[in-house]
Amino acid sequence: MTKQAWAGGWTAKEWPIAAAMIPFPGQLPDGRLVQEAGPEAWADSLRQVAGAGFEAVDPTDSWLRVADLPAGARAEFVDICQSLGLAIPAISTSRRNLIDPDHGKAHLDYGHRVIDIAAELGVGHVSFGFFGPLTPEQQRVTWFWTEDGPRCPDDPDTYRLAIDRVRDLASHAQSCGIRVVLEMYEDTYLGTARDSVRFIEDVDHPSVKLNVDIGNLIRLHRPVEPWAEMIRLCAPFAGYWHVKNYYRMEDGRNGQIMTHPAPLLGGVINWRAAIETALDLGFDSPFLVEHYGGDGLGVCAQNRDYIRTILAGRRSRNDQAV
């Protein structure tokens, strides 16, 4: 077994694969926000996660802002996770654009709070991005990615501001032993593979890696880079990794493109090849499994098991080669 390919020191069974909380909305059917609903509501969702066989969870902040909980409530949340055997390898922020013209500074301050809480809880990775809230048009359709969302400004000053704010967070994270990862997302400074690599290289900070969430791009109803090209370019910079897949249908006669969520084993992205490539380059971070629509948690559980078969097959081949 090569040290580089298994830099995290985990076996296939131990490798952290966290459940995303996107199958659970931030508002309960009775109108209460999950943020304010308290431990009983949190425990109900987390029991479902543990019941699906997960041993790790990312408390995605579209569901619950752990960093904004009072200390006592935060301790209750941690106790629930521990009682269910759920580790927290990472915290993902969602739609809190660090350069939003109205709320960017507040989002930056929130990012620092997330890093502090990650350090308090022993969480090793925090994911940030430059994508904002869904527009009214996006909220009205079945799949929000079929409508255009906000775009990052194409000007040097705003780009520089984005670099500076990421470096600010990264310096804080480095002092806490935490890795910052930046999520790839359309029409942001990480909206293509090449733009993502350029941005990471411009940030030039040892604590900053890419969240190579290429599913965010593959699902677009427009021409995109081939998934294998995205992986080839971005895998050398990969940190904590959101993984999901989509069916993608392109009609070459009229240019029509349609996509739909798919399990990792299906869809257009060959995740076995993508993960193998990343491992070859020393990928040593947890995975996060995501899925939109249907029984999202159930599909995530299947995706987790599929990833473990890839890791186990890799380990077996490495052992035979020794």
Phi, psi angles (nearest 5°) of residue 232: -60, -40
The whole-number average pLDDT for the span 266-288 is 96
pLDDT at 310 over 80: yes
How far is CA 282 from each of CA 2, 33, 236, rounded to the nearest angstrom?
10, 40, 8
Encoded amino acid at 247, one letter: Y
pLDDT score at 2: 27
Give per-residue burial for 77-116: e unless 16+ CB within 10 Å, then b.
bbebbeebebbbbbbbbbbbbbbbeeebeebbebbeebbe
Q: What is the rounded distance in angstroms from the CA atom of residue 163 to the CA atom of residue 215? A: 24
pLDDT score at 318: 65
Is 222 strand, coil or helix?
A: coil
What contacts 22, CB < 8 A, 6 or more positions away?
60, 62, 63, 290, 291, 292, 296
pLDDT score at 252: 87
Count of CA atoms in the C-beta half-sphere (13 A) of 230: 26
pLDDT digits (tens, 9 = 90+) for 132-177: 999 999 999 999 999 999 999 999 999 999 999 999 999 999 999 9
What contacts 274, CB < 8 A, 6 or more positions away?
214, 227, 228, 231, 235
Q: In terms of C-beta density within 10 A (0-12 exposed, 13-18 middle, 19 or more buried), how is residue 322 classed?
A: exposed
pLDDT score at 139: 96
Lateral strand order in the sheet of 125-128: 90-92, 125-128, 179-183, 208-211
pTM of the predicted model as reported, rounded to 2 decimal places:
0.94
Pairing of strands 245-250, 257-262: antiparallel
Is 126 strand, coil or helix?
A: strand
Element (H, E) at 183: strand 179-183
In whole angstroms, how large is the CA radius of gyration of the chain? 19
pLDDT at 17 over 60: yes
pLDDT score at 316: 62
pLDDT at 3 over 60: no
Mean pLDDT of the chain: 95
For 1-5, 7-11, 220-224, 230-234, which range has the lowest pLDDT when averaged over its residues? 1-5
Q: What is the rounded distance in angstroms from the CA atom of residue 12 to the CA atom of residue 6? A: 10
Phi, psi angles (nearest 5°) of residue 219: -75, -10
Give the start-to-end residue ranges of the domains of the chain.
4-321
pLDDT at 4 over 90: no
Q: Just give the CATH number of 4-321.
A: 3.20.20.150
Report the first-to-last Cα separation within the chain, whole angstroms. 6
Confidence at 320, pLDDT banded by 50, 70, 90: low
**Cβ–Cβ contacts within 10 Å for residue 142, how many?**
8
The number of angstroms, rounded, from the C-alpha of 158 to the middle of its chain's C-alpha atoms is 24
Both structure tokens of 288? 């996060």
Both structure tokens of 125? 């990775």
pLDDT at 319 over 70: no
pLDDT score at 93: 98
Is 89 strand, coil or helix?
A: coil
